[in-house]
Structure 1
């Protein structure tokens, strides 16, 4: 099992339909070999959704002939960046290891009584291409795993596509994640995403996509990002309108400095009528998110 206090630091990026091809053809990746895997994942919760309410994800992943059990807690961050506790270990087969699960901090207290009620609730099946990258000057390099996931979420009789990139910090400083993301955004149409695969699946099953109240610039960016995530999974036009309204409120916020405001003002017009970003959106959103990072609790 992983260490008692593991921390996953990750930057999640949703890609436009042309994004995967643009990413794999990016010149920066030309000299790096990609590893390709097929991942089958089952997420567990109680029928009442106790883990979802506690913002905890529990999954079994089948990959490369192994079964891995993973627990992730609620994230802290915003603008695509999240920091969350994560535990992962190999298990013998496609059954939950309840004994090890009971020993983890998230399952102490109120959640200690839900273990016997856990059952499969949703699945995600996707192809993953991954690259191991080094960012930064010699002697101060950070190790980043870049992954491209393409597949689908299946939950409650509904399906929605997975088309995203994740940049996970394996060693070094989080600043390296922003540097790499901005480099990719020069040629890849993308946008920050604040919704995990588990939270997307839970919302899909219930057909309910709540948006948080917003007051600060970081909160308005988070609201806009979640609204775009909700629009693409629900295809409800009201969420695209919510996203545009949040972006306008963000651009008008009195707390923004001149540079941040210029980034925010570029965002509304950089989405097409289908809510898909062009490269201008990705560059401005990431630059702004970088300035506002670590200020929002994620769902």
Structure 2
């Protein structure tokens, strides 16, 4: 088993239907080479959903003739940005490497007894285009992997499209993620997303999309983001109403300063009738999420 990368820092963006091609043609990427791969992924859990309840994702990925086993813990953050533990290593396949799993911190304690009950529960198959980018000025250069995924999540009889971009910090300053995302949002219709592929697949399987209670501005933005994620996967109109209500509440929140209120007030009208963002939504949502994340970090 290879030495893991303990913390993954990533900014996830949901794309409008025109988003993937618009992003690939973005002037910031035009001169950068892209790698295209087909990724076939199977997620494992117990029949009772013990890993999902613990907010742990266990995946086997087939890519370029290799099989990779990955474990991810729940992400901490919001507004599209998450930080979480991740372990990934190559295995012989096709089954799980249970011995190595048993050595990982998430599978100590209560989950140590579920390994023999793990079985495939859902799959995600998608095409990935990726760019390796160096962002920032000399002396402060950050390495960011930008990927665009297009495909679908399959859980039993349920399916939902994958159409998203992920900006993962490979080295450097997390601020570079926000700067790059805002640059892309100038020309591409996108929005922050707070739902991983595994979480989306689990919700799809259960046909249940719970929304968290909200009090602070960051919590209302998170609730709106999750409601939009839920709407696009469930096609239940109530979630689009929930998102609009959360955005309206956010815009009137007394804890926002003048700049934050301006960003928040731009959001409700920047979604179309199908819950898709225009470029104004992406720019305002990212700017607001960035400010709120910075305030949270200072507390």
* TM-score (normalised: structure 1): 0.97
Structure 2: segments with no counterpart, 5+ residues: none
Aligned to 1:27: 27
CA RMSD after TM alignment? 1.1
Map residues 212-227 of structure 1 onto 2, 5 A cutoff.
212-227=212-227
Question: How far apart, in 2, do the equivalents of 1:234 and 1:109 lie?
Answer: 34
Aligned to 2:264: 264
* TM-score (normalised: structure 2): 0.97
Residues 15 and 165, structure 1, Cα contact 8 Å, conserved in 2: yes
TM-aligned CA deviation for residue 294 of structure 1: 7.0
Aligned to 1:90: 90
Structure 1: segments with no counterpart, 5+ residues: none
TM-aligned CA deviation for residue 140 of structure 1: 1.0
Task: State the structure with bigger RCO (CA 8 A, min sep 6), 1 or 2.
Answer: 1
Other structure's SS at 2:138 match:
coil
TM-aligned CA deviation for residue 147 of structure 1: 0.1
Question: How far apart, in 2, do the equivalents of 1:84 and 1:250 lie?
Answer: 26
Other structure's SS at 2:28 match:
helix
Map residues 200-239 of structure 1 onto 2, 5 A cutoff.
200-239=200-239
TM-aligned CA deviation for residue 3 of structure 1: 3.6
Q: Deviations over 1:19-55 (max 9, x none)?
A: 0111011001011000000000000000000000000
TM-aligned CA deviation for residue 96 of structure 1: 0.3
Question: How far apart, in 2, do the equivalents of 1:295 and 1:40 lie?
Answer: 39
Other structure's SS at 1:29 match:
coil
Question: How far apart, in 1, do the equivalents of 2:174 and 2:210 lie?
Answer: 29
Aligned length: 296
TM-aligned CA deviation for residue 2 of structure 1: 4.7
Question: How far apart, in 2, do the equivalents of 1:3 and 1:295 lie?
Answer: 33
Map residues 120-135 of structure 1 onto 2, 5 A cutoff.
120-135=120-135
Aligned to 1:185: 185
TM-aligned CA deviation for residue 12 of structure 1: 0.2
Q: Deviations over 1:243-295 (max 9, x none)?
A: 00000011111000000010000000000000000000000000000011278
- Between 286-295 and 112-121, the greater mean CA deviation after superposition: 286-295
Q: Could you list the runs of 4 or more consecutive aligned residues of structure 1 that deviate by over 3 angstroms after TM superposition?
A: 1-5
